[in-house]
Amino acid sequence: MAGPRRRLLLPPLVLLLVAAGAILLPQRGSAEEGKVSLELYYESLCPYCSRFIVNHLAGILEDGLIDAVHLRLVPYGNARVGSNSEISCQHGPYECLLNTVEACAIDAWPDLDVHFSFIYCVEDLVVKRQYKDWESCFQKLGLDPKPVTQCYNSELGHKLELEYANQTNALEPPHRYVPWVVVDGQPLFEDYENFEAYICMASKGTPPKACEGLGRLQMALETAEARNGVSYNSGVSKLATAAEDGGREQ
């Protein structure tokens, strides 16, 4: 189901300066204490995945919720590794290429703002059925293509995808489909589009301003408990207090 397109956090000029080393952006490390873990297991040509990235996930870079989140993208999905370590993808060889391209982007540009902007650009082209023009994203964002092209044309790209295969196959419970969204270790199953509510309920400390709106959160909690047995009760009382106080820190 398509939704309105979201603008990205960084304009192309800023991304150009980042790539040139003129601006040093804050790094979001792998162990960000106090942040809610958000993991997206997906594949590049899955229409549900691309629409989720473009129409939903990008929104947390807009509304500030990203500041409370450690986001990790895993571009592998329903691919399979054969006995010779060759990878076959659900939507064919071109999906394997773009999965590897996006894995290489994450490796080449560890800063979330940079690699997410690139992946957003590619997935937006998937939504528009123009994904074979994916290389235009380098120019649109002012990014040097060399680190990514060298990666996917070398053994490094294949090794990255094999690592993502291991991470995906190690999921407990195993993923059933894509996109597969996990918040603080709990899969959201079919309620993945409501992921922001689960982030708010799992948040530690004062809930982010983007979490205002208890009605939506309570509905998400009830839906999760009825459908999946996923529970995020720990955040509800904090959110209620914040709502009563106008969402302000006391």
Per residue in 40-90, pLDDT (tens digit) is: 999 999 999 999 999 999 999 999 999 999 999 999 999 999 999 999 999
pLDDT in the model for residue 34: 87
Domain contains 13: no
Domain contains 110: yes
Total structural domains within the chain: 1
Residue showing tokens 């996930």: 57
Read off the DSSP letter of residue 125: H
Domain contains 237: no
CATH number of the domain encompassing residue 164: 3.40.30.10
Q: Is the pTM of this model over 0.75?
A: yes
Task: List pLDDT tens digits, range 154-209.
Answer: 999 999 999 999 999 999 999 999 999 999 999 999 999 999 999 999 988 788 88
Range of the domain at 69: 36-228
Query: What are the two backbone dihedrals, phi and then psi, of residue 153, each rounded to the nearest 5 degrees?
Result: -90, 5
User: How far is residue 106 from each of residues 52, 63, 184, 233, 244, measured CA to CA in Å?
Assistant: 18, 23, 21, 33, 40
Domain contains 120: yes
∠ CA(78), CA(30), CA(171), 5° rounding? 30
